[in-house]
């Protein structure tokens, strides 16, 4: 693998990881009761009911793990994520993000259609690039 390819792969992983952390922060705000519900879960209510706040708490952790998985696949040192988990996990993220993109596009919420859909599309594309790349050696 050339140095340029390695740099592009690492950059794509870093951008995706940063995006996942941002999504995680958004989910944490929802879980904390901040009234951002119009931009999530179909946009029906501003302040989420307790069950959806719990779901956002779980999503907070999920997206942080997603960041670690894609960073590990991109060649960053994330020792607690095994290389095989990073390889398959990045492909799982591609599938989940694609499904999420379709759900956001089908949503009646303008926040989800015009805000989240492009973000999720970009994250899916970045994960696809990282998943297809060869994992560089981690020193």
Q: How far apart are CA 137 and CA 139, in angstroms?
A: 6
pLDDT at 137 over 60: no
pLDDT value at position 35?
96
Distances in Å between the alpha carbon of 7 and those of 1, 11, 137?
Answer: 10, 6, 12
Sign of CA dihedral 5, 95, 59, 35: positive
pLDDT at 113 over 80: yes
Q: Give percent of the chain with pLDDT exceeding 90.
A: 90
Interhelix angle for 50-73 vs 83-106, to 10°? 130
Is 99:117 a contact under the CB 8 Å cutoff? no
DSSP 77: -
6: confidence class by pLDDT, cuts 50, 70, 90: confident
pLDDT value at position 134?
66
Mean of the pLDDT values across residues 124-129?
A: 98
Look over the chain and give the mean of its residue pLDDT values, rounded to a whole number: 93
pLDDT value at position 139?
46
* Domain residue ranges in the chain: 3-132
């Amino acid at each position: 693998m050339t140095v340029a390819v390695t740099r592009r792969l690492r950059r794509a992983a870093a951008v995706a990881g940063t995006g996942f952390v941002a999504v995680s922060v958004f989910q944490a705000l929802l879980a904390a009761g901040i009234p951002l519900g119009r931009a999530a879960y179909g946009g029906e209510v501003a302040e989420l009911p307790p069950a959806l706040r719990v779901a956002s708490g779980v999503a907070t952790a999920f997206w942080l793990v997603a960041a670690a998985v894609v960073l590990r696949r991109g060649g960053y040192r994330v020792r607690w994520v095994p290389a095989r988990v990073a390889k398959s996990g990045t492909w799982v993220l591609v599938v989940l993000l694609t499904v999420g993109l379709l759900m956001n596009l089908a949503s009646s919420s303008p926040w989800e259609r015009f805000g989240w859909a492009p973000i999720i599309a970009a994250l899916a594309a970045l994960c696809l690039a990282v998943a297809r790349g060869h994992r560089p050696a981690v020193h």
